[in-house]
Amino acid sequence: MSANLAKGINAFKEVIDAPIASFFSSCVHCGLCAEACLFYTETGDPKYTPIHKLEPLRRIWKQEYTLLGRLGKLLGLSKPVTDAELTEWKPLVYDSCTMCSRCAMVCPVGNDMTYMIRKMREGMAASGHAPDGLIGASTRSVEIGSPMGIRLPAVKAQMKHVQADTGIEIPMDVVGAEYLVLMSSMEIINFPEYLGAIAKIMKQAGKSWTLSSEAFEATNSGIQIGASDIARVLVQRVVDGAEKLRVKTVISPECGHAFTALRWEGPNLVGHAYTFEVQHILEVLDDFRRAGLLKTTGFEETRLTFHDPCQIVRRGGVLEQPRNLLKLVAKNFVDTKDHGKMNWCCGGGGGVSAIEEAEPLRLQAFKAKKAQLEETGAKTLVTACANCRIVLEEGLEHYHMGIPVVGLTELIADHLTEGE
């Protein structure tokens, strides 16, 4: 056994806990999880069945943590997990799983496949079976500070542009501000309108906020590749930044997995509860709405629908907020058939959009989203995750659908009452 494989197998052993043992014990091989997975429904290939993606982890569980399995191993009757097998499983564990958790919502025995994939990736990464795209993103995150290689000067340049556009000063490193605003690389590079929207909304709401020169990046490749040590370093940066500036609340941007990393995994990664709150921007906006701090004018007249980002909605619990906010500014809002916690993934979450070789499969899986959108007849698609947004834009362009994709925060900012 190679040193890397041994490391990987050890990582598999370490991540197996009582929930995983109960999940594997309960599986009756009914195959219903496949029917919930866009990689299966859009390809018809049974290898994309969610529980099948976990087969090497299941065998490690059986061989190490059950009496019968251990007996089988002693007698040489069990099939060991090999490097060749993990190589074969790499596209199943990474390219074709966005960790969207739709399968975990339908499994009759309650198996949470995403919980297991997240942990299985620790062993895949440790054994050297992670995709190059995610290795690159993780390396850049640790060394440069962002998965897309963005440094502070790029953020400062964007601050200047936004200041010039909006006439609002963008605060940085303000000690004692109420909110620390984070961004995703995608927002810094592709969607600068997010920062402008925040500036306008905060000004109208009369809230103090700040960016941090040390913690501006919210994304976390560590949780996508399955390297908790990297994930911990990245979360710690945010924790340090927030504590240094003594903010009350850190705002996770329009980015799905950043929210999972900061809100749900973060305290477990750094080993203690936070001294501050973490809210997704939609939660903050909905709080403002309820407090009467969001004054909007006019309505979007076009038929529009909302794409629920998996990590924010199904795995994040931000279910009602986007709809409350959309009602403020849209007259013709229509939900897709499966929406909210049953929405179909864009196909690019969980790091999939960073894996170059996964692109053809991702575009094929996008047909699930395409069908869902076509059924609504919507002319505009709103979402609240920059990664979903770019993946949706690519998919819509690939299928010549001509539907613009808009960030919800930006949509709200466009309707703020002037002069407030």
Residues near another protein, by CB under 8 A: 16-23, 25-32, 34-36, 40, 44, 46-47, 49, 51-52, 65-68, 104-112, 115, 263-268, 271-274, 313-317, 319, 337-338, 341-342
**In the complex, what is the shortest distance from the CB of residue 110 to another protein, in angstroms, rounded to a whole number?**
3
Alpha helices in 338-417 (DSSP H): 359-365, 367-376, 386-398, 408-414
- Nearer of residues 56 and 266 to another protein, judged by Cβ: 266
Which C-beta is closer to another protein: that of 171 or that of 267?
267
Rank residues 149 and 267 by Cβ distance to another protein and give the closer one: 267
Nearer to another protein, 44 or 206 (CB): 44
As measured in angstroms, the least distance from the Cβ of 55 to another protein is: 9
d(CA 228, CA 185): 20
Q: Work out the number of other CB atoms within 10 angstroms of the CB of residue 49.
A: 22
Q: How far is the CB of 18 from another protein (least distance, A)?
A: 5
SS3 240: helix
Do residues 391 and 346 touch, judged by C-beta distance below 8 A?
A: yes
Nearer to another protein, 44 or 153 (CB): 44
As measured in angstroms, the least distance from the Cβ of 27 to another protein is: 7
Q: Which 3 state secondary structure label does DSSP give 94?
A: helix
C-alpha 319, offset from chain centre: 15
**Least gap, CB of 284 to another protein (angstroms):** 15
Q: Say what the alpha-carbon torsion angle 240, 245, 247, 253 is, to the nearest 10 degrees.
A: -60
Rounded alpha-carbon distances, angstroms, from residue 101 to 97, 105, 345, 347: 9, 7, 9, 12
What is the smallest separation between the CB atom of 261 and another protein, expressed in angstroms?
11
Residue with tokens 């659908």: 401
The answer to whether 235 touches 266, Cβ cutoff 8 Å, is yes
| Closer residue to another protein in complex, CB, 129/315 | 315
